[in-house]
């Protein structure tokens, strides 16, 4: 394949990564923004979403769309409920102390991951996509002075991947509407601004926290359900989303939702394109170094402004 079609393909794949990453990272960013804690177990909530999707799809049978549709609802709800339980039994009791929360969520990471290993096993299992038509993509080349359309071999995508690219922005729009237009969003923003003041005004801060932690985890689970027809469900699949979400949240400016989305698109797209030129390991080395250096030298993120 020539470079042009190749880059287009990489961009399409990158857009899928970006879509899923944006959902996962916004979940992490929301939790950090409102609660000021870092959830190391975020990747495991992602993994749980995928594993639950597999169970649901198994149970439903029939047309793949039925199982997938059910998973789309059940997985985020169930994972959200687990996260709320984690918040109420653990995080609340250590009073959301930032450092102890990290240690506790490392513990939660191992608990979720290892319980999944015991229950679900070490195998990677697929979930069928609800629809999966292969779509060939045309390309143009200059021949005898005029542009001619042709169909390069291997340049194609699927209807499902396009649907993911469309679905993610819709969900994010929903999150934005919730934050900006609803009463619960108002409570979240008030709590984010000043916890003590919110308490003084009678906002049930602990319930807001539990809800935010649940929504953050549910977003990760939703992202995983979307990706599981493309990538299989596996008990160790939470590691990469966690790392990538970290990169996105830190580069986008801690706790800033618009920054997170912009960074997710940037990282997701470049991930597809960089992997054309670099080995995945080298790409990861550069990405982790970038996160470390951004935190050291530009803690407000690449897009943030200091003090905001």
Partner 1 sequence: MKIAVLHIGLLALLFALQFVLPAYHHGNLARIMVLASYAVGYNVLFGYTGLLSLGHALFFAAGMYGMALTIDHLGWSPAPALIAGLVAGLIVSAALGVLALRTAGVAFMIVTLMFAQAGYLTILYFAEWTHGDEGFVIQQAQRVLWGIDLSDPSNRYFAALALFSVSLLVCLWLVRRPFGRTLVAIRENEERTAMLGYDTFAHKLGAVVISGMISAAAGASYGLLFGYAGATFASVQYSIFPLLWVLLGGAGTVLGPFIGTLFMFYLIDLSSGITTAYMLIAGVVLVALTLFAPQGLAGEVRRRIWSWLP
Interaction site with partner 1 (CB under 8 A): 38, 90, 93-94, 98-100, 102-104, 106-111, 113-115, 117-118, 122, 243, 246, 250, 279, 281-282, 284-285, 288-289, 291-293, 295-297, 299
CB 41 within 8 A of CB 220: no
Cα 57 to Cα 147: distance, rounded to the nearest angstrom? 46
Is the Cβ of residue 113 or residue 158 nearer to partner 1 in the bound state?
A: 113
Is the Cβ of residue 102 or residue 178 nearer to partner 1 in the bound state?
A: 102
Cα 62 to Cα 14: distance, rounded to the nearest angstrom? 32
Is the Cβ of residue 98 or residue 138 nearer to partner 1 in the bound state?
A: 98
Is the Cβ of residue 116 or residue 157 nearer to partner 1 in the bound state?
A: 116
The strand pair at 146-150 and 139-143 is best described as antiparallel
Query: DSSP secondary-structure letter at 253?
Result: -
Alpha helices in the chain (DSSP H): 3-35, 42-60, 64-86, 98-120, 159-181, 183-193, 195-200, 205-227, 239-251, 257-277, 280-297
CB of 246 to partner 1, least distance (A): 7
CB 159 within 8 A of CB 131: yes
Cα 291 to Cα 297: distance, rounded to the nearest angstrom? 10
Cα 75 to Cα 217: distance, rounded to the nearest angstrom? 10
The label of the residue with tokens 């629809």 reads: 131
CB of 42 to partner 1, least distance (A): 13
CB of 281 to partner 1, least distance (A): 5
Is the Cβ of residue 197 or residue 289 nearer to partner 1 in the bound state?
A: 289
Is the Cβ of residue 78 or residue 104 nearer to partner 1 in the bound state?
A: 104
CB of 93 to partner 1, least distance (A): 6
Buried b (16+ CB within 10 A) or exposed e, 112-135: bbeebeeebeeeebebebbeeeee
CB of 247 to partner 1, least distance (A): 9
Backbone angles phi, psi at 95, to 5 degrees: 60, 35
Is the Cβ of residue 136 or residue 293 nearer to partner 1 in the bound state?
A: 293
Cα 241 to Cα 113: distance, rounded to the nearest angstrom? 14
CB 284 within 8 A of CB 42: no
CB of 125 to partner 1, least distance (A): 18
CB of 264 to partner 1, least distance (A): 18
Cα 285 to Cα 171: distance, rounded to the nearest angstrom? 31
Name the token pair of 66.
């039925």
CB of 153 to partner 1, least distance (A): 32
Is the Cβ of residue 100 or residue 207 nearer to partner 1 in the bound state?
A: 100
């Amino acid at each position: 394949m020539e470079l042009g079609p190749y880059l287009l393909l990489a961009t399409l794949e990158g857009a899928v990564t970006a879509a899923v990453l944006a959902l996962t990272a916004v979940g992490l960013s929301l939790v950090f923004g409102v609660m000021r804690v870092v959830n190391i177990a975020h990747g495991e909530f992602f993994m749980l979403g995928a594993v639950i999707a597999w169970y649901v799809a198994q149970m439903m049978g029939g047309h793949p769309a039925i199982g997938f549709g059910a998973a789309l609802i059940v997985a985020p709800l169930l994972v959200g409920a687990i996260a709320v339980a984690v918040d109420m039994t653990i995080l609340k009791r250590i009073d959301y102390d930032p450092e102890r929360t990290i240690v506790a969520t490392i513990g939660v990471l191992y608990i979720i991951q290892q319980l999944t290993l015991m229950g679900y096993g070490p195998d990677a299992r697929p979930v069928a996509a609800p629809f999966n038509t292969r779509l060939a993509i045309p390309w143009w080349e200059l021949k005898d002075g005029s542009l001619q359309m042709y169909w390069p071999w291997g340049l194609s995508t699927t209807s499902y991947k396009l649907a993911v690219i469309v679905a993610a922005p819709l969900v994010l729009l929903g999150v934005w509407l919730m934050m900006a237009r609803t009463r619960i969003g108002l409570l979240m923003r008030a709590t984010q601004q000043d916890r003590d003041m919110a308490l003084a005004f009678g906002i049930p801060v602990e319930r807001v926290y539990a809800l935010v932690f649940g929504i953050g985890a549910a977003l990760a689970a939703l992202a995983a359900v979307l990706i599981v027809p493309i990538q299989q469900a596996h008990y160790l699949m939470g590691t990469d989303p966690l790392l990538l979400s970290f990169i996105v949240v830190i580069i986008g400016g801690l706790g800033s939702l618009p920054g997170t989305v912009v960074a997710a698109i940037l990282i997701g797209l470049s991930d597809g394109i960089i992997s054309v030129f670099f080995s995945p390991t080298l790409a990861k080395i550069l990405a982790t170094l970038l996160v470390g250096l951004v935190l050291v030298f530009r803690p407000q993120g690449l897009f943030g402004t200091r003090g905001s």
